[in-house]
Structures are given as C-alpha cells and as structure tokens.
Amino acid sequence: MLGKLVKYDFKATARIMLPVFVVMLSLSAIFALMIRLRVENGFIFSLLTTALFTTMAGSGIATVVCIANRFNQGLLKNEGYLSFALPVKTSTHIGAKLLNGVIWSILETVAVGTSIFVIILITSSSQEIVELFRELLELFNLVDMDVIVALLKGLSIMACELISSICMIYAGFAVAHLFDKHKSLVIAGFVIIIMTLNSSISTTLIDANYEIFASLWFWYVQALVPAFLYLLITWFILDRRLNLE
C-alpha cells in the first residue's frame, strides 16, 4: 500500500514539477545556443538570462511548495476524507508523503545540475568537451577510498538534513490544522521558532565541546532527533486530533 500511495503522490506532484523542469531545460538549451551563435540582441539575451536563473531558483521554491501542498491537500483538506477512509495506518500516509518529498527534492537537484551540464555541453567546442572529460577521468583516478567515504558521509548528512526539513514542514502544517484562523502565520511562526531553537541548541553544544563539530554522529543526531519529534507531532495530530469537518 505504501508503494501505491507514493505512486499517487508522485503523479500528482509530477503534473506541476515536470513542466517546470522541461521549461528550465529548454531555457538552458536556448540560452546556451544564443551564446554559441553569438546572438547580439542584448534585450532578448538579458530577458532570457533572467528567465533562466529565475526558473532555476524558482524550481527549488516550487518543489517545497508542491511537497507542502501534497501533504496539506492529501491529508488535511478534502482529499483527507478519501485518504483516511483507506485501510492504511496514519504512519503509512506520513511515510508516503515523506518519500514523495525526498524523491522530488532529489529530482529537482538533478534537473538543475542537468541544466547546467546542457549549458556547458552546448557552449563548449568538441575539443573543450573532450578535454573536460579527460580531466574528469584524471580526477576520478585520483579519488581513493578515503575521498569516497568522505563524500558518502557528506551525502548522508545532506540526506538527513533534507528529511528533517521536510518533516518540519509537515509538522508545521499539522500544528496549523489545530487553529481555525491564520494558519499561514502559524506555519511560518512554527518554522521560525523551530529553526531558531535548533540553531541555539547546536551552537550551545558546539560551544560547550567544539570537538563534537567534527563528529559525524553529531550531525546525524542534530538532524534525525528533531525529525523524529516532528514526525511524532505530525502523527499525533493526524491520528488523534484530526478534524476534517
């Protein structure tokens, strides 16, 4: 059932995000071609440049909005009636939304990276591309196990931070559901308070023992413990305090 829920959320999010990615990739290709062909129309080039970088920056915002909207619409709005009518645990619903959020966050990063690669590929000559790949191969040859381990550690920390951020957003929407008015202000206030509190705790711990800053476990704990608390808050409200009237 978890797979079916994720698939449903993925398709719902794709209706918005895939067009954004297509537009971003198309603008990247056109932007690169204008550079390659040395198009001298400054107004069009400036307009295209603005549109491209706005789309790249906006894709991240659009991803966050879509992730939050799928949670809100799927569990706290009218779709919630259908969702909670299914023989599925509340934790499974939350897990499906979380997986959907993680997947689309990764896809957004890949889409931005692909757009940058398209620009480099089109604007570079054949010789420059060959040289680029040669340098990349030489770089890979220099990579040893220590570098790979360090890279994997960094990626794992980023993954934990991503999960924690998505869980915080879900908890914010769940808490706002308890209020009849000013839900947006409640969400914003919740996020600001939580981020400030997390920053203060982390700073205090580092000041007390600076060596933990270099500890991998510190970064795991400071991301995953709050994430667990966010999920607990979200589950409790959806399971015990949900009111879709």
CA separation for the pair 1, 8 (Å, rounded): 11
- For the chain, the average pLDDT equals 86
* Mean pLDDT to the nearest integer, 91-97: 94
* Mean pLDDT to the nearest integer, 94-119: 93
CA separation for the pair 68, 179 (Å, rounded): 17
pLDDT at 1: 76
Q: Is the pLDDT of residue 238 over 80?
A: yes
Return the CA Rg of the chain.
22
The residue ranges of every structural domain in the chain are 1-140, 143-245
Write the pLDDT tens digit of every residue in 150-189: 788 888 999 999 999 999 999 999 999 999 888 899 999 9
| Choice between 34 and 15, residue whose per-residue pLDDT is larger | 15
Give percent of the chain with pLDDT exceeding 90: 43
Specify the amino acid at residue 219. W
pLDDT at 244: 73
The Cα diameter of the chain in Å comes to 65
Write the pLDDT tens digit of every residue in 13-33: 999 999 999 999 999 998 888
pLDDT at 151: 82
Q: For residue 219, which of 169, 163, 135 has the smallest C-alpha distance?
A: 163
Exposed (0-12), middle (13-18) or buried (19+): which is 206, by Cβ within 10 Å? middle
Specify the amino acid at residue 6. V
Write the pLDDT tens digit of every residue in 142-152: 666 776 777 88
The answer to which of 60-64, 74-78, 241-245 has the lowest mean pLDDT is 241-245
Write the pLDDT tens digit of every residue in 202-228: 788 777 676 676 677 888 888 999 999
* Mean pLDDT to the nearest integer, 239-243: 84
Q: Is the pLDDT of residue 44 over 70?
A: yes
pLDDT at 143: 65
| Choice between 57 and 192, residue whose per-residue pLDDT is larger | 192
pLDDT at 148: 75
pLDDT at 142: 66
